[in-house]
Amino acid sequence: MEHSAQIASVLTTEKPEPRPLPAYLRLARDPKVVCAGGFIILLMVLAIGAPLIAPQDPLAQNLLNATLPPVGFADAEPGFLLGTDGLGRDVLSRVIYGSRVSLTVAFVAAGLACLIGSLLGLMAGYLGAITDAVISRLVDIWMAFPPVLLSILLIAVIGTGLHSVIIAIVVIDWTRFCRVVRTETMNQAQMDYVIAARTVGFSRPATLFREILPNVVPVLIALLTLEMGIAVVVEAILSFVGLSVSSDTPTWGGMIAEGRQIVHEAWWVLAVPLAALFATVVAFNQLGDGLARSLDPVLRR
Amino acid sequence: MLLAVIVRRAAMALITLAGVAVIVFVLLRVVPGDPVAMMISPGATAADIAALKAHYGLDAPIPEQFRIWAAGIVTGDFGTSITLHLPVTEVLASRLPATVELALLALFVAVILGGGVAIAGTLMRRTAGETVIDGLNSIMLAVPDFIWALALVLLFAVALPVLPLTGRIDPELAEGFATKFYLTESLLTGRIGVAGNILSHMIMPALALALPLAAVIVRLLKQSLKEAMVQDYVLLGRIKGLGELRLVLQEALRNAIGPTLALTGVQFTFLIGGTVIVERIFAYPGIGNLAIDAVINRDFPLIQGLVLLFGLIFILVNVAVDLGVAALNPRLRYA
């Protein structure tokens, strides 16, 4: 085989086409993916190592040190790099601790929404007929709710707290995965390889999970990353309104709500967590975009 | 044919709306929190509580409560708000105009801004200007209205304190209006100073709602315009001596606008959903802000009315978009 290939390439005097790079190498060469991924890894390190990294106790109040500006401004204290809030708590330490809630929600809520939505989408797309009709109608009804309103409604029903926020995000956002996976499954189900698998005697579940699913996964990974960004924002919104975790746990949304109240006296209490939220959302989004481009064979071309 | 499409659409919409109604109703009945418990004074007796429950119809079995509520809706009666002690219909009618004006102003800003940048980007194609627009826009696409709203608060509260941060209109000006459509009415009656005051309150929330939509419009419209600019009819226009700007506006835009209109319609429903949190941030007295209060206070009748109203608005916008797209594209008219 090797010989004939060499002979063929000599005869035609054409170089053999270079093998396309594996996905992980392509990703490592995309500056957007590297920056965004690097930022998220940094954030994960900060979240996990918060007790070691944060310069101050995020809950320690000291009214004598209230609303100190960030270092570099007049009246700043060197111990409080990004200033203090209205109760004299260190803004930098609170933002570092706040990343714990944000990232927990990002990974757990987005992961569960992905799992549930994909399963229903696979079923709707592959089984068709009544299963598809029921699931699709359900998705339509779901999407008639404004997501922010539905999440607030759900929190009102199940109570506040981290679990509730995660449940609310899963209950709302499974439809995103369901719709995309359903369409993708329908497209894949018509391909020759699926018919071949059925012909050689694969059962329907085996065809679905061993043949179709691996071909849906690239789309799913990109969608999951985008969903993590959405989950971080939803958590921030719910904390902002006061419907997330209790106020003695630092969250970016909770800090933003406090900062909104005293924006005229201490703008940094709003600006710092808002910047953290902005950077995180943009990072997840750029990473998702980059993944979609390098994992999707159609977009790649 | 168009009529048949409308009828089928309306039937689907009714089924969806009925589904929304049932889900909201059932969800709220399984809530552990009791709305009556939140409104009684600490010294109330069991008899007082029972009387209050009976007053709001909360003592009947759940299917019976649903029957009464559904029968009421058909006749336009959504019940009485528990916290505001007013008919839900009245509360919604007094708050809805503020949100309608805000959402439409935001849509207008988004279309002007998004369309303008898309056309500018098309004129600058294959230059550094286009790279800058694309780079900025890819970041803008990721930023939700919540972050924009707070960034605007930061900008206009600290760096440039020229705009009011909360409300819809200065209280001393909010008199002598025949309707709740303050902006429309003041413009129609020529009270320009009042309209200016209302606009100064509305511009920040409207901008926060508009920017994410504008980013979506820029991406799609610019792509469509660039594709149109290499078509033969644009070449013909160029041979006839039309300038670049006229080519884009007269030839390319007309052919490229279709997909953008359809997407803008769909995205407009997201914008309406965004009013909930943006109105909250700016203490703007619309139905979005009302919704958060209603949920915090567990005001069941008001929540049900609000969710149905949002559902209805979403469905109406979707139907209008479908019809608009069908009317613009003859090929879709029979689909």
Closest chain A C-alpha to B179 CA, distance in angstroms: 27
Question: Once rounded to an integer, what is the mean pLDDT over residues B309-330?
Answer: 78
* Interfacial B residues in 260-319 facing A (CB < 8 Å): 269, 272-274, 276-277, 280-281, 288, 291-292, 295-296, 298, 303, 306-307, 310-311, 314-315
Chain B residue with CA closest to A136: the answer is B16
Q: What percent of chain B has pLDDT over 90?
A: 22
Asked whether residue A149 carries a pLDDT value surpassing 90, the answer given is: no
pTM: 0.84
| Residue A231 or residue B9, greater confidence | A231
Cβ within 8 Å, pair A153-B24: yes
Asked if B82 and B35 touch (Cβ cutoff 8 Å), the reply is yes
Subunit contact A233:B147, Cβ cutoff 8 A: yes
Q: Which residues pair with B80 in a beta bridge?
A: B87
pLDDT at residue A209, as a whole number: 85
Task: With cut-offs at 50, 70 and 90, classify the pLDDT of residue A296.
Answer: low
Read off the pLDDT of residues B117-138 as tens digits, 9 standing for 90 and up.
Answer: 999 988 888 888 888 998 899 8
Is A156 close to B307, i.e. CB distance below 8 A? no
Q: Answer whether B16 touches A (CB < 8 Å).
A: yes
- Does A300 score more than 50 pLDDT? no
The verdict on A114 touching B (C-beta cutoff 8 Å) is no
B166 pLDDT band, cuts 50/70/90, is confident
Query: For chain B, what percent of residues have pLDDT higher than 70?
Result: 91
Per the model's pLDDT, the better-predicted residue between B156 and A301 turns out to be: B156
Query: Residues in chain B, how many?
Result: 335
Is the minimum CB–CB distance between B26 and chain A shorter than 8 Å?
no
| Residue B303 reports pLDDT greater than 90 | no
Cβ-defined contact of B151 to A233 (cutoff 8 Å): no
The whole-angstrom separation of Cα A215 and Cα A206 is: 14
Give per-residue pLDDT as tens, B270-291. Answer: 898 899 899 999 999 999 889 8
The answer on pLDDT for B217 being more than 90 is yes
Token pair for B122: 């098309």
d(CA A230, CA A106): 8
Candidates A147, A241, A277; nearest CB to B273: A147
Chain A residues close to B295, C-beta within 8 Å: 152-153, 155-156
Residues of chain B with Cβ-Cβ distance to A286 below 8 Å are 138-139, 142
Q: Which SS3 state, helix, strand or coil, does residue A90 take?
A: strand
* pLDDT bucket at A213, cuts 50 / 70 / 90: confident
| Burial tier of B155 (Cβ tally within 10 Å: 0-12, 13-18, 19+) | middle
DSSP state, A87?
A: T
Question: Which of B153, B165, B291 is nearest residue A152 as measured by Cβ atoms?
Answer: B291
Of B33, B298, B310, the CB nearest to A149: B310
From chain B, pick out residues whose CB is under 8 angstroms from the CB of A256: 150
Q: In b/e form, how buried is each residue of A256-271, taking b as 16+ CB within 10 angstroms?
A: bbbbbeebeebbbbbb
Mean pLDDT of A70-76: 77
Q: Is B138 within 8 Å of chain A by CB?
A: yes
Task: List A71's β-bridge partners, or say none.
Answer: A73
What band does A291 get if pLDDT is binned at 50, 70 and 90?
A: confident
Q: Do A263 and B158 touch (CB under 8 A)?
A: yes
- Residue A200 CB: number of other CB atoms within 10 A? 6
- Average pLDDT of the residues in A14-40: 76
Q: List, in sequence order, every residue forming a beta bridge with B87; answer none if it has no partner.
A: B80
The alpha-carbon radius of gyration of chain B (Å, integer) is: 24
Q: Which residues of A touch B269 (CB under 8 A)?
A: 146
Q: Using one digit for the tens of pLDDT, what is the confidence trace for B43-99? A: 667 777 777 777 766 777 778 878 887 787 777 778 888 888 888 889 999 999 999
Which residue of B26, B137, B150 is the best one to mutate when testing the A interface, meaning the one whose CB has the most A CBs within 10 A? B150
* Mean model confidence pLDDT for chain A: 83
Q: Produce one character per residue of B65-85: b if its CB has 16 or more CB atoms within 10 Å, e if not.
A: bbeebeebbeeeebbbbbbbe
Residue A87 burial by Cβ neighbours in a 10 Å radius (0-12, 13-18, 19+): middle
Average pLDDT, chain B: 83
Mean pLDDT of A161-182: 89
Note whether B153 contacts A: Cβ–Cβ < 8 A: yes
Q: Which domains does chain B have, with CATH numbers?
A: 2-74 (no CATH), 94-334 (1.10.3720.10)
Confidence of residue A301 (pLDDT cuts 50, 70, 90): very low
Q: Is the pLDDT of residue A80 over 80?
A: no
The pLDDT assigned to B196 comes to 86
| A108 burial via Cβ count (<10 Å: 0-12, 13-18, 19+) | middle
Residue A86, pLDDT above cutoff 90: no
- The rounded distance, in Å, linking the Cα atoms of A235 and A155 is 11
CB < 8 Å to B24, chain A: 153
Q: List the one residue out of B115, B134, B135, B137 whose CA is nearest residue B125.
A: B134
Q: What is the pLDDT of residue B310?
A: 85
B166: which DSSP letter? Answer: S
* Half-sphere exposure in the Cβ direction for B272 (13 Å, CA): 27
Q: Which of residues 252-291 of A touch B (CB under 8 A)?
A: 256, 260, 263-264, 267, 270-271, 274, 277-278, 281-282, 284-286, 289
Instruction: Give Cα B237 distance to the centre of its chain.
Output: 39
Show the tokens assigned to A250.
């630092």
Mutate to test the interface with A, among B295, B300, B314, B317 (most CBs of A within 10 A): B295
Asked if A237 lies within 8 A of B31 by C-beta distance, the reply is no
Better pLDDT: B38 or A94: A94
Percent with pLDDT over 90 in chain A: 26
| Residue B157: band (very low, low, confident or very high) from pLDDT cuts 50, 70, 90 | confident
**ipTM for the complex shown:** 0.83
Stretch 164-203 of chain B: residues touching chain A, C-beta under 8 Å: 165
Instruction: Choose the closest CB to A148 out of B17, B19, B276.
Output: B276
**Chain A residues in contact with B153 (beta carbon < 8 A):** 260, 263, 270
Judged by average pLDDT, the poorest of A269-283, B19-33, B116-130 is B19-33
Find the mean pLDDT for residues B249-260: 83
**How far is it, in rounded angstroms, from Cα A56 to Cα B76?**
57
Which of A 226-245 lie inside 8 A of B, CB atoms?
A: 229, 233, 236-237, 240-243
Mark yes or no for CB contact B306/A149 under 8 Å: yes
Contacts of B291 in chain A (CB under 8 A): 149, 152
Q: Give B308's contacts in chain A (Cβ within 8 Å).
A: none
Nearest residue, CB atoms, B23 vs list A141, A159, A284: A141
Q: Look at A227 and B57; give whichever has higher pLDDT.
A: A227
Is the Cβ pair B277, A155 closer than 8 Å? Answer: no
